[in-house]
Chains A and B, each alone.
Chain A
Amino acid sequence: MANVQMQFEQFNDTIRLGRFEENATLREKRDIIRRKLKANLPVVFKKYNEICPEYYFLDQGSYEMDTGTKPLDGDYDIDQGLYFLVSITEWPDPVKLKERVFEALDGHTNRVELRRSCVTVFYSCNDEPLYHVDVAVYSESSMNTDGKSYHAKGKQHSLPENRYWEVSNPQQLSDTIFDKFPGAEDRKQFRRVIRYWKRWKVVNFTAGGASAPNGIGLTLLTYYHFQPRYTDAFANKHNDLRAMRELVEVVLASFQLVYDEDEKAYVERLIVKLPIEPWNDVFDRMTARQMRTLKDKMTVLKDALVYAEGVADTRAACERLQMVFGKDFPVPEKQETASVHPPAITSSGNSA
């Protein structure tokens, strides 16, 4: 009913954070890390009497896919792929390679961590806004006999079974996701909807909490269940409210009962598999409790979307949407939504 497409598009313009090519801040932060690695990697390898393998960088993550949103707290989350021209047989222990990367970055800021999936550099310099760069380490595809690229998993002191090379191809993932919607305008709506999810997540889950669903999961939920929606298909006028409401409803309906070993009971889970190798469930690390919270918050989101679609007043719809999407969702002033009329003159009246 209420037409809030203008407000949704305004919201998208406010929260969108473009690609590296468009955004100097992102590029700058990324290039600091690239320069640091260029300068230090040869030194570190030399220290261990190893030859520094050739390597190159690839942008990955939401800023590469153009699904990024501006962080609310300034904590930009920058993803970099670091592709070493080595085979997984030359470096059977992926953590060893990650340790070299860690050492090349360590001391660069007060906090550098070697984590399960990447080496993370945290910045919290005096005036500089807080941000972090995740460097994911890969073995490049052409170096492996099966022609696949592999992602280095595991951390220091991990048990051997938790240190492994995992088949991974971020570029192929990105291509798979976006090739599903060939039309330029549909693809734009697809990206907008992913950004709405992500901002909803930031507003509704406490900062840095492990309880929040990860960005790739929300992106994949959209990939699997989103359908382009229009108010006028012939004029190519999109209806983001309806697309989002239908998407959230389908996602809520796709929670499934799974036996949980920790809870010793059947619990509801969202299973979101990567559409390419290694086909893993990207939400598999969420606990049963986190899943329940996710479902509760998604239900609140759905109710707000149903309400916004059900009321006639644009302003009432936007007020409700602001409650779930945060203050960047615009609420128009009453006057902006109304036409101007001449003054009315009324008489007294009788009723019974």
Chain B
Amino acid sequence: MRLITHNMLQCPVKGCSKDNFPLRIEDAEIENADADFNPQFLKRMLDRIAWGALVQTSFSLGVAKLPESPGDPNDDEFLQTLHHVLLETRVKEGRMVCNGCGHVYPIREGIPNMLLQENEV
């Protein structure tokens, strides 16, 4: 799971409406995989990223330091850092936990599983 994907995921438990984003990542096995650097794509994505959640998550995983608010989209160094965090940093194994309801979502072979039990839908 790349961190850009994590940035899009929210706890889907019915009635869970508080502290349900971002999901807290625990026991993460992190890996890096090279991706093509595309500054135009990153600029287009900036307003679709939940920035605070990304900063918090990257900090908790100990990956590259991001500024508290999005940097200058024309600053190459900022975009390179963002590229690495969003698109090259992956959680291979681990789990995500909802800070609101405590639901646990496993990540196996790099794929998060957001399925719920019948009584949670």
Say whether A and B bind each other.
no
